[in-house]
Chains A and B, each alone.
Chain A
Amino acid sequence: MDPTLVKMALGGLALLGCIGLFFGIGLALAAHKFSVEVNPKVEEVKEVLAGAQ
């Protein structure tokens, strides 16, 4: 296989991985910073209800 192509593919993989990591961390931080408290009882009640829909 052509080494330049392999190099290009690996470079792309690394770069996209970096972009993904960067934005992923960014989103995680945003989710942390803008977190909204949800009453845990809402989930509990939803669990108990019959969930046909």
Chain B
Amino acid sequence: MSASRFKIASLIACIAVGAVVLSQVCWAGLANRFIQKTAFKGKHDILISFAAPVDKDWALNKANFRVYEEPDPDIKLPISKISLGPDNKSLILHFDEELNQSQPHVVVIKNIRSRGKNLGTAMVKAKKLYLGFLFSIFIGAMLIHNFVFTKYLGLCVFFGTSQKRSTAVGMGVTFTIVMVASAMMSWFLYQFVLKPFHLDYLQIIVFIGLVSLSVQAVDTILRKVNPILFKAFGVYLVLVIANCIILAVPLILADNEYNAAESFMLALGAGLGFLVALFLMSSVRERLELANVPPTYRGLPIAFVVAGLFALAFLGFSGMSIF
């Protein structure tokens, strides 16, 4: 009898605790959900926007806001001024010092008051758009700093394989696969072997070895696993070793101290950029076969002229920045 009573009592206690926890979660969620966006705005400001208008006297009180960088919660950043948007739905926190935007900033907003009602305390984070940053690396490597047209790398393979469209696409796809594989390997080796042992000065030799290793590995495996694909790609695989883009990418990501995701995006962007360049060039060169080109310009000279025109066109992307 007493045992069953104990069971019932513990059940009720459990339900009560659960309800309290749930209501707390909902309460915090309510306050957090009331804040729609927290973002950096310029170098000195953080923008916060709310779902509904907030009370003006509450919003302009600096004591209601607490801002710190995520790794150091005890260093409070002094707010110099608060300005409220015209519809009272957004406010901007101004800081005298420049914000270190590479760190996420935590904003604690106390007792949010909207239309006289207290909505509780919210804790939100302002951080740089990380996916946007990755995307900008990708687009940057592919178009803005296209390796062929703005850095003039990998030209020998570029001119060698851009005579036919099918050849060009095959080469581009093979190149992208090998590029991503070897860039990830060289990122790993650089971060976890070369840097800890202070052997950064050997990076070029190690990266050359890695490129030939990945080409050889892809060659061996593809020959067995997918002979049809091997027949299509086999010729270009060897050419990939002779490409300087495949060496430039590991050097760039070692220089910029990229992490794994950023390295992946850079490698993918570089590979697809090369594919785009090859595709554009081969399309033009197929048309050039039919054109009436002066005899001295036939073949490689006119290809160089066309590549120069493409480079001029890609100059239009320069100076662009995304996010």
Complex Cα distance, B212 from A27, in Å, reads 11
Chain A residues contacting B217 (CB-CB under 8 Å) are 26-27, 30
User: Which among A8, A12, A15, A23 is the interface contact of B213 at CB below 8 angstroms?
Assistant: A23
Instruction: Please state if B199 and A35 are interface contacts (CB–CB under 8 Å).
Output: no
Interface string of B215-258 (1 = CB under 8 A from A): 01100110111010000000000000000000000000000000
Report A17-47 residues with CB < 8 Å from chain B CB: 19-20, 23, 26-27, 30-31, 34-36
The SS class assigned to the B binding surface is helix
How many interface residues does A have (CB within 8 Å)? 15
Instruction: Please state if A15 and B199 are interface contacts (CB–CB under 8 Å).
Output: yes
Instruction: Please state if B216 and A27 are interface contacts (CB–CB under 8 Å).
Output: yes
CB distance from B213 to the nearest CB of A (A): 5
Instruction: Please state if A19 and B221 are interface contacts (CB–CB under 8 Å).
Output: no
Instruction: Please state if A8 and B223 are interface contacts (CB–CB under 8 Å).
Output: no
Closest residue on chain A to residue B199 by CB atoms = A12
Instruction: Please state if B225 and A8 are interface contacts (CB–CB under 8 Å).
Output: no
Instruction: Please state if A15 and B197 are interface contacts (CB–CB under 8 Å).
Output: yes
Chain B residues contacting A20 (CB-CB under 8 Å) are 209
Asked if A19 meets B189 with Cβ closer than 8 Å, knowing A30-B217, A34-B223, A34-B224, the reply is yes
The SS class assigned to the A binding surface is helix
Chain B residues contacting A26 (CB-CB under 8 Å) are 217
Chain A residues contacting B193 (CB-CB under 8 Å) are 15, 19
Complex Cα distance, B206 from A20, in Å, reads 9
Instruction: Please state if A30 and B221 are interface contacts (CB–CB under 8 Å).
Output: yes
CB distance from B293 to the nearest CB of A (A): 29
Instruction: Please state if B198 and A16 are interface contacts (CB–CB under 8 Å).
Output: no
Selected A-B contacts with CB under 8 Å, 26 pairs:
A8-B199, A12-B197, A15-B197, A16-B199, A16-B202, A16-B205, A16-B206, A19-B189, A19-B193, A19-B206, A19-B209, A20-B209, A23-B209, A23-B213, A26-B217, A30-B217, A30-B220, A31-B220, A34-B220, A34-B221, A34-B223, A34-B224, A35-B224, A36-B223, A36-B224, A36-B227
Known interface pairs A8-B198, A12-B197, A12-B202; 14 further A-B residue pairs with C-beta atoms within 8 A, sorted by A's residue number: A8-B199, A15-B193, A15-B197, A15-B199, A16-B205, A16-B206, A19-B189, A19-B206, A19-B209, A20-B209, A23-B209, A30-B217, A30-B220, A35-B224
**Which of A's residues lie within 8 Å of B, judged by CB?**
8, 11-12, 15-16, 19-20, 23, 26-27, 30-31, 34-36
